[in-house]
């Protein structure tokens, strides 16, 4: 029998549910984004996020079952994001998943959110891509992994400070382009010239792998202040060549991500790269990494944009693999922020 898995995601600011058949076939996907609730604060407010999940989670699950034309009793298991994320948000998804699994006597499958972002990219590959290198770039994470299979990933490098998505969000705040910053900065960047302003790219001195984006953010800030660290930051409408700043910043992030990812492929002698997480929606990153990868014999796979940002399809998909491997949890399952 082909498994029918309900996935539930509530780690940050998207409440999502999806039904996937046989690990790959998407029967339904519902995502409720909280962006409007957090936009005025310029970032995710944990308490607002938790309460919003509480209000939306059952309607979202109901919608996903409805879209798939299924009832809870038809399912083979319930997969839920168990870590990492905002604890008050994770608890909502985990509590609901436990209750549904308990009352319907279904296996409960805990899923690691970052591994699920990688799985999203593998779902778009015609053949299993393993072993491969995986780059996860989101609002909370920027890391490179070596993946032997969907269930065996080892960390190669991470960021010393900000995640790439966080840098987009902070620079967007400086440029006055709104929240979430990634799509807005990227849109503004299309009107600019990415060769006009060269911002620094971090590279570990010893040639090892690693990311850092806080220096880049500071150098955008100093640029806006005319090179004088103590000068006031200009209002967004007074910023000169605002689109060039956006384009130069985006190019610096993309260059750092592409250089390090391709170095990881070379070091590990793996010609396959999977990319996941919200920043994987970025058009310039998709274009540049695909092109630079091809020049070095590396095939790069990105999920469709809807499966780059937080969604429950990736949770149900990876949940199916975990169920096959017998990696289910007891009803004492706890959520973990890290
Ligand atoms: O994976 P995700 O939905 O949530 C986390 O797990 O963090 O990623 C959200 C992040 C935000 O920082 C957002 O600004 C960024 O992904 N993002 C983008 C783009 N679309 C979303 N960054 C750059 N370019 C984009 N087109
Ligand atoms: Zn995510």
Which atom of ligand 1 lies at the shortest distance from residue 283's CA? 26
Q: Cis (ω within 30 of 0) for the bond into 284?
A: no
For a pocket test of ligand 1, which of 16, 90, 165 has the largest count of ligand atoms closer than 8 A to its C-beta? Answer: 165
- Same domain? For 296 and 149 the reply is yes
User: Which portions of the chain are predicted below pLDDT 70?
Assistant: none
- Same domain? For 56 and 82 the reply is yes
- Same domain? For 151 and 92 the reply is no
Which atom of ligand 1 lies at the shortest distance from residue 140's CA? 7
Q: How far is residue 137's CA from residue 163's CA, in Å, rounded to a whole number?
A: 7
Residue 161 inside a domain? The answer is yes
Residue 337 inside a domain? The answer is no
Distances (CA, A) of 20 to 101, 137, 177, 214, 316: 17, 24, 36, 38, 6
- Same domain? For 136 and 113 the reply is no
- Same domain? For 114 and 212 the reply is no
Q: How far is residue 302's CA from residue 277's CA, in Å, rounded to a whole number?
A: 9
End-to-end CA distance of the chain: 35
Residue 333 inside a domain? The answer is no
Query: Using an 8 Å Cβ cutoff, are 17 and 8 in contact?
Result: yes
Residue with tokens 């995710």: 44
What is the model's pLDDT at position 229?
A: 82
What is the model's pLDDT at position 12?
A: 94
Query: Using an 8 Å Cβ cutoff, are 167 and 216 in contact?
Result: yes
What is the model's pLDDT at position 74?
A: 98
Cβ atoms within 10 Å of 156's Cβ, excluding its own: 21
- What's the CA-to-centroid distance between 263 and ligand 1, angstroms? 23
- Same domain? For 58 and 167 the reply is no
- Same domain? For 50 and 152 the reply is no
Residue 331 inside a domain? The answer is no
Structure tokens at 295: 């020049």
Supply the mean pLDDT for the chain: 96
Long-range contacts of 160-163 (CB under 8 A, 24+ apart): 160/210, 160/211, 160/212, 160/214, 161/212, 161/213, 161/214, 162/212, 162/213, 162/214, 162/217, 163/137, 163/138, 163/139, 163/213
Count structural domains, the chain: 2
Task: Residue 212: give its domain's CATH number.
Answer: 3.30.420.40
Residue with CA closest to ligand 1 atom 3: 309
Does any ligand 1 atom lie closer than 6 A to the CB of residue 165? yes
Distances (CA, A) of 30 to 26, 33, 241, 305: 11, 10, 39, 14
Residue 334 inside a domain? The answer is no
What is the model's pLDDT at position 179?
A: 86
For a pocket test of ligand 1, which of 112, 187, 288, 309 has the largest count of ligand atoms closer than 8 A to its C-beta? Answer: 309
φ/ψ of residue 158, rounded to 5 = -140, -170
- Same domain? For 65 and 170 the reply is no
Give residue-wise pLDDT tens across range 246-276.
Answer: 999 999 999 999 999 999 999 999 999 999 9
Domain encompassing residue 181: 126-302
Instruction: Please choose, from the candidates 140, 127, 220, the residue with its C-alpha nearest in 3D space to the C-alpha of residue 180.
Output: 140
List strand residue ranges (DSSP E) for the chain, in order.
4-9, 14-21, 25-33, 77-83, 108-112, 132-137, 142-149, 152-158, 272-276, 299-301
Q: Cis (ω within 30 of 0) for the bond into 180?
A: yes
Residue 295 inside a domain? The answer is yes
Does any ligand 1 atom lie closer than 6 A to the CB of residue 129? no
For a pocket test of ligand 1, which of 49, 257, 258, 279 has the largest count of ligand atoms closer than 8 A to its C-beta? Answer: 279
Q: How far is residue 280's CA from residue 257's CA, in Å, rounded to a whole number?
A: 10
Cβ atoms within 10 Å of 281's Cβ, excluding its own: 21
pTM value is: 0.95
* Cβ within 8 Å of residue 47, ≥6 positions away: 88
Residue 87 inside a domain? The answer is yes
Instruction: Identify which ligand lies nearest to the alpha carbon of 303.
Output: 1
- Same domain? For 27 and 94 the reply is yes
What is the model's pLDDT at position 178?
A: 87
- Same domain? For 80 and 156 the reply is no
- Same domain? For 106 and 177 the reply is no
- Same domain? For 196 and 161 the reply is yes
What is the model's pLDDT at position 43?
A: 85
């Amino acid at each position: 029998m082909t498994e029918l898995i309900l996935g539930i995601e509530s780690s940050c600011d998207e409440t999502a549910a999806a039904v996937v058949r046989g690990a790959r076939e998407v029967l339904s996907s519902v995502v409720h984004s909280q962006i409007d609730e957090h936009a005025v604060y310029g970032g995710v407010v944990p308490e607002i996020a938790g309460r919003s999940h509480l209000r939306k989670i059952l309607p979202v699950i109901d919608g996903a079952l409805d879209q798939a034309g299924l009832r809870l009793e038809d399912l083979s298991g319930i997969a839920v994001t168990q870590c990492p994320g905002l604890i008050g948000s994770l608890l909502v998804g985990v509590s609901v998943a436990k209750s549904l699994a308990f009352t319907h006597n279904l296996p409960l499958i805990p899923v690691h959110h970052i591994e699920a972002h990688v799985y999203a990219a593998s779902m778009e590959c015609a053949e299993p891509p393993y072993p491969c290198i995986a780059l996860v770039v989101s609002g909370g994470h920027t890391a490179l992994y070596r993946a032997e299979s969907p269930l065996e990933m080892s960390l190669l490098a991470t960021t010393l400070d900000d995640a790439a998505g966080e840098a987009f969000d902070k620079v967007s705040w400086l440029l006055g382009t709104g929240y979430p910053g990634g799509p807005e900065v990227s849109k503004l960047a299309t009107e600019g010239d990415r060769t006009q302003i060269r911002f620094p790219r971090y590279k570990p001195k010893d040639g090892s792998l690693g990311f850092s984006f806080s220096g880049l953010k500071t150098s955008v800030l100093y640029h806006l202040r005319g090179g004088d660290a103590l000068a006031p930051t200009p209002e967004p409408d007074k910023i000169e060549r605002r689109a060039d700043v956006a384009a130069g910043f985006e190019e610096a992030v993309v260059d750092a991500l592409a250089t390090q990812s391709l170095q990881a492929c070379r070091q590990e002698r793996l010609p396959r790269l999977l990319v996941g997480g919200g920043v994987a929606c970025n058009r310039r990153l998709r274009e540049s990494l695909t092109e630079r990868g091809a020049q070095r014999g590396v095939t790069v796979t990105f999920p469709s944009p809807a499966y780059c940002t937080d969604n429950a399809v990736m949770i149900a998909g990876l949940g199916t693999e975990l169920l096959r491997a017998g990696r289910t949890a007891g009803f004492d399952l706890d959520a973990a922020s890290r």
